[in-house]
Structure 1
């Protein structure tokens, strides 16, 4: 099933001749000037306008077998536009970061818009990401190449030096940060530096978030970096860059699902955990201490939280995608409660509560695996599964197979398995601390959502 390339000179020559003589990836009317930029917008101005939908462009989609036979290279902005505007190519590259195919049209429009307005900043990093992702797909539409480290380095350089003067600059920085994060996680066995890439993008765009979150076109770029940053900070007891602001609309995200209203509570948990880590609040001084009062308040809010489930959710996204969203939301809610429990008690203490929470995480994921896993393109629950596996051995290993169709997530999960074994070994050897204290010396990979 996984054909990386077809190197027959005859096939390649025929394909090149066909492409040059009769096929254009998109018509001349679809070519857009890379230098066109909207008038500079400051954070205080009104919301951004819309640009044309790439789906309205006159495109010619090549069949997968023809794409497999072609010596596709990704070198220029035109190559990036070609990939984004081809719905089939875009889908196969980006659906590993979507809960289902219903999110593809919106994501395609968003990426096209950012590339259209910010191609000079985005192109190298995005091309490096595209080239890398061709090796991690169920069905490939482009020839496999070695990772383009030069383009990735240029992408990182662009991210570090980005100047943000308008909404699209901010969206570009957030999207570039995501692509460079994925590139780092997949290329580097020791990818603990990936989090710094994401935080850099969030720091440079923090002031723009309240505007972007109200833009239908650019909002899909926001949630993934905030989720990644929040998860890393929960594990490493740091403070996320951004506490997601409230909105007057329900956010249903391609990667974070319906967890938007849970993320601010997870931010508060990060702040509380970080404060205790620094010793400002003593976690060992008993239930009357400040840390216990803060944890109790956050715990109460998380227990009362329910994911939004408006009637139109099922109509727009379908049963399997809604089940994936609810599975993710429930898993994150239970994971937050398990973290609160383990901030109160070290490993080996109050085991029953910890095991109950872990088994509830396993239960909802097992139900998903039995009913909707084959119809879903991504399931960002590596983090909840990992911390549940600290507590209980067995069910988590069986659920590991759930990630096998989701290649990117399965790679990240596999790298975490060694750390899970180290936590269990410490617990069995009589370790009396909290598992967070093992992070600095034993966790050397990114903690994916």
Structure 2
């Protein structure tokens, strides 16, 4: 059998390369063109598979498929889980966790690059994250087997997090990503574990993070969500946060979670420290504490965000509205907390109620304009702070609005509602509740989990 018999209807290599018609001579081992030009007629190139060429996938889908292949190679991944993995990188899902659609591409690229390079250690966390939010993407609740699989993945991810030893920026970035993935799982199914996860992750990265004078935004892009989530809890519980946020020096930086408000985070850290100090001293007898309070109050009142030159051109109108709302609402919330460090709840109400309604009405107006709530745990803090000041006739209206204005899951909305309702109950009966002793009246302690029993319950 000749070479031509083995490849019927197939041009020789030379005719194929020059895109010439290849005519074969009967009972010959050479085509007409190669015979005329005295070339060796060969047919050595690999044969292509029969059938139509598959359509090229868009870049995001190709990268998502690469993640699925990497994670499935780790073994024991169901078809349902692989389907969820591919959907997890769509803009629709990513927009649930960033300020707006302009951040989706960079967020997707960051997650994919991290997971592809470390699928063995991040795979379980990403699967737990995807499974926990599956009811939103699938339109129906998970069955018992899927819920159990989700918790097994989360437990394995948590064990991996606890085993990490961070000594350089690459390991720090990997740890931040792992912590954020587990946090995303808790925001859906384990809301009272979210702060424990943040604190554990931040404690792990602290030795390296504290040495960074100007952290590379690509390496710490996700750290703000961990710091903000812990900050909210520390402000409510009168505790000291693990890390003080280091503001990027770039004038063009905009954070995917807190937008333009990132430079306010160090001041919220300072408010935590002052609140803790006031809880341990008699503020009326301490000139030093009063001076510290005046200083921070002045700093927050004068604070202005750094706005990139191309800000209004780079971001959509809805995103600009959301980020400007973040700026105003978070600063006002900080000032209201400082006000209640100075004056107990129920006294000097005029200024407090003005700030309270300013926060709530701005959030409501922004929602009406954009059709979106701000997906950031710091906005939950602003709503809680504002709701504490409401009078009886206003409470019912704004309590219902929590379900519109607060993002994330049903559990997270119930969490915010329970804090507000419990303090209202205490404020109606107790006296001399300042911000620094408020945590004694919110009833949150009964929900707390220690880090030791978390692994038994996940």
TM-score where L is the length of structure 2: 0.73
Q: Which has the larger radius of gyration?
A: 2
Give, in angstroms, the shift of residue 386 of structure 1.
1.1
The answer (yes or no) to whether the contact 2:99–2:319 under 8 Å persists in 1 is yes
For structure 1, the residue ranges without an aligned partner over 5 or more in a row are 1-20, 28-53, 62-73
Query: Hey, what does 1:181 align to over in structure 2?
Result: 183
The answer (yes or no) to whether the contact 1:25–1:60 under 8 Å persists in 2 is no
The answer (yes or no) to whether the contact 2:85–2:130 under 8 Å persists in 1 is no
- CA deviation digits over 1:393-435, x for unaligned, max 9? 345235324347x442x53122221331221122222432225
For structure 2, the residue ranges without an aligned partner over 5 or more in a row are 1-50, 66-70, 449-458
1:20-419 pair list within 5 angstroms = 55=59, 58=62, 86=86, 89-137=89-137, 145-146=146-147, 148-188=150-190, 191-209=191-209, 211=212, 214-250=215-251, 251-277=253-279, 279=280, 281-285=281-285, 289-374=287-372, 378=375, 380=377, 381-392=379-390, 393-394=394-395, 396-397=398-399, 399-403=401-405, 406-408=407-409, 410-419=410-419
245-254 vs 268-277, greater mean Cα deviation: 245-254
SS in 2 for 1:124: helix
The answer (yes or no) to whether the contact 2:189–2:411 under 8 Å persists in 1 is no
TM-score where L is the length of structure 1: 0.75
SS in 1 for 2:136: coil
Distance 2:169 2:302 in 1: 35
Give, in angstroms, the shift of residue 307 of structure 1.
2.1
- CA deviation digits over 1:215-267, x for unaligned, max 9? 34333212111111222111111111111224321431111111111011111
Tell me how many residue pairs correspond in the alignment: 379
Higher relative contact order structure (alpha carbons within 8 Å, sequence separation ≥ 6): 1
Aligned-CA RMSD value: 3.5
The answer (yes or no) to whether the contact 1:327–1:368 under 8 Å persists in 2 is yes
